[in-house]
């Protein structure tokens, strides 16, 4: 199983890969087919917080530099999947890429990625190299088949570059 994410598509792919391991996912029966005598249950994914690396500060809007902490509720599924991908025998792959945009009112993708790495005890290394579409890569962290790549850029076009580079990032999956 392969997972790649930018801040745009992080959750959708992780949720799909993670659904089979979530206790909270409800099983809904499949519509019966006139061609078979039985149906099997299919797991359904609720669309909640799986569209990106989203987290809030506690207290609300109090950034880390001012003493706030990260409410990791929205990151639990990503942490779990990253842990599994970090185990080479799992066969799962998970790549997170992020820019340096700091929204200030909610946790940035850099802060969320750092939280995941810290939780798993993985160190981020500084690098300076060119990435897809002329993006400038500043950091990398990896264990097993889990990898985080950090890129320069704090504007909307820098953010969107991750989506446009999706094909290249998929080819890089560890």
Between 11 and 86, where is the model more confident?
A: 86
Specify whether the backbone of 122 is left (phi greater than 0), alpha (psi in -120 to 50) or beta.
beta
Q: Tell me the average pLDDT across 3-11.
A: 46
Q: What is the CATH number of the domain that holds 9?
A: 3.40.50.11320
165 located within any domain: yes
Q: What is the mean pLDDT of residues 138-147?
A: 96
From 11-20, 79-88, 163-172, the region with the lowest mean pLDDT: 11-20
Q: How many angstroms separate the CA atoms of 49 and 35, rounded? A: 37
Domain contains 38? no
Kind of pairing, strands 93-98 and 2-5?
A: parallel
Is 36 contained in some domain? no
**Predicted TM-score (pTM) of this structure:** 0.73
Domain membership of residue 35 (yes or no) is no
Query: Is position 26 within any domain?
Result: no
> Does residue 76 sit within a domain?
yes
Residue 107 pLDDT greater than 60, yes or no: yes
33 found inside a domain = no
Q: What is the DSSP letter of 100?
A: -
Residue 116 lies in a domain: yes
Domain count, the chain: 1
Structural domain of 10: 2-21+48-172
């Amino acid at each position: 199983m392969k997972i790649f994410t930018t801040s745009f598509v992080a959750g959708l792919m992780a949720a799909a890969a993670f659904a089979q391991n979530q206790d909270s996912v409800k099983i809904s029966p499949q519509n019966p087919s006139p061609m078979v005598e039985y149906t099997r249950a299919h797991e359904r994914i609720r669309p909640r917080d799986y569209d990106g690396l989203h987290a809030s500060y506690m207290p609300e809007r109090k950034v880390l530099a001012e003493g706030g902490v990260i409410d990791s509720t929205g990151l639990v599924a990503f942490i779990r999947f990253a842990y599994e991908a970090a185990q080479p025998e799992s066969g799962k792959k998970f790549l997170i890429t992020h820019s340096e945009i700091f929204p200030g009112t909610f946790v940035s993708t850099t802060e969320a990625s750092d939280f995941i790495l810290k939780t798993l005890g993985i160190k981020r290394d500084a690098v300076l190299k060119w990435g897809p579409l002329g993006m400038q890569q500043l950091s990398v962290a990896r264990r097993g088949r889990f990898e985080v790549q950090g890129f320069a850029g704090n504007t909307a076009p820098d953010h969107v570059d991750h989506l446009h580079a999706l094909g290249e990032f998929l080819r890089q999956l560890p």
